[in-house]
């Protein structure tokens, strides 16, 4: 496999075989609960978020309900997720904005989502892809690491990685593929479990590699 396109095509097919189903790892009920869960997942595991969100939904699972909950109470519940002061303030703030400016509904454009407190491009991309089915390619740490190991990007930054992956893979595959790469990264090509020379995909797409790959941030 000498070209990026050849590597990408093989990876796309192999991941589809390994992960025919692509359930969203964050438990949610609708676009709003997904949005909040993704916000909470920053620098936190999905597993921990899924333990915390039922307690948050008990306080309020709609923007109308959550905007009435004191920020301190939200912070108390979400503390295990880390960065709780910032996240609690963002959740309260975006709940207020959704009610005041969007009739309580989560907006369906990247621009409007990214204007909400605590919502960056990656969070907006996850919501657009998984809540609304709009093709997007959210790049998390797993995808950023694997794309470099698989020689699909130079890994200069996550924005570059996203742009490179969007060029290499069919648009209609993006939403399932970004989840498949995350699943594979957690299971087979983790930060410590593989160094670019161990897992099946690394060995297949870059067979001659002898040295560990140093991931660029």
- pLDDT tens string for the chain (217 positions)? 789 999 999 999 999 999 999 999 999 999 999 999 999 999 999 999 999 999 999 999 999 999 999 999 999 999 999 999 999 999 999 999 999 999 999 999 999 999 999 999 999 999 999 999 999 999 999 999 999 999 999 988 999 999 999 999 999 999 999 999 999 999 999 999 999 999 999 999 999 999 999 988 7
0.85 surpassed by pTM: yes
Which CB contacts under 8 angstroms, 24+ apart, belong to 153-161?
154/216, 155/215, 155/216, 156/216, 157/216, 157/217, 158/122
Cβ density class 73-99: b for 16+ within 10 Å, e for less: ebbebbeebebbeebbebbbebbebbb
pLDDT score recorded for residue 171: 98
pLDDT score recorded for residue 155: 82
Domains belonging to the chain, first-starting first, are 4-22+137-205 (1.10.1670.10), 31-130 (1.10.340.30)
pLDDT score recorded for residue 217: 78
Segment (H or E) for 161:
helix 158-168
d(CA 150, CA 146) in angstroms, rounded, equals: 6
Query: Is the Cα torsion angle 39, 43, 46, 51 positive or negative in sign?
Result: negative
């Amino acid at each position: 496999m000498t070209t990026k396109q050849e590597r990408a095509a093989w990876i796309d097919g192999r991941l589809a075989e390994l992960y025919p189903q692509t359930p969203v790892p964050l438990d949610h009920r609708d676009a709003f609960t997904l949005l909040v869960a993704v916000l909470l997942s920053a620098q936190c595991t999905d597993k921990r978020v899924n333990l915390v969100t039922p307690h948050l939904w008990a306080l309020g699972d709609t923007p109308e309900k959550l905007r009435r909950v004191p920020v301190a109470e939200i912070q108390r519940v979400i503390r295990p997720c880390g960065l709780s002061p910032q996240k609690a303030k963002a959740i309260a703030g975006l709940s207020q904005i959704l009610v005041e400016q969007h009739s309580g509904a989560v907006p369906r454009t990247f621009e409007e989502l990214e204007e909400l407190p605590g919502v960056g491009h990656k969070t907006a991309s996850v919501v657009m892809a998984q809540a609304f089915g709009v093709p997007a390619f959210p790049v998390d740490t797993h995808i950023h690491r694997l794309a470099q190991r698989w020689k699909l990007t130079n890994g200069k930054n996550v924005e570059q990685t996203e742009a490179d992956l969007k060029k290499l893979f069919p648009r209609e595959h993006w939403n399932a593929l970004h989840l498949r790469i995350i699943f594979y990264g957690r299971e087979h090509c983790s930060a410590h479990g593989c160094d670019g020379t161990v897992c099946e995909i690394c060995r297949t797409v870059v067979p001659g590699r002898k040295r560990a790959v140093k991931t660029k941030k």
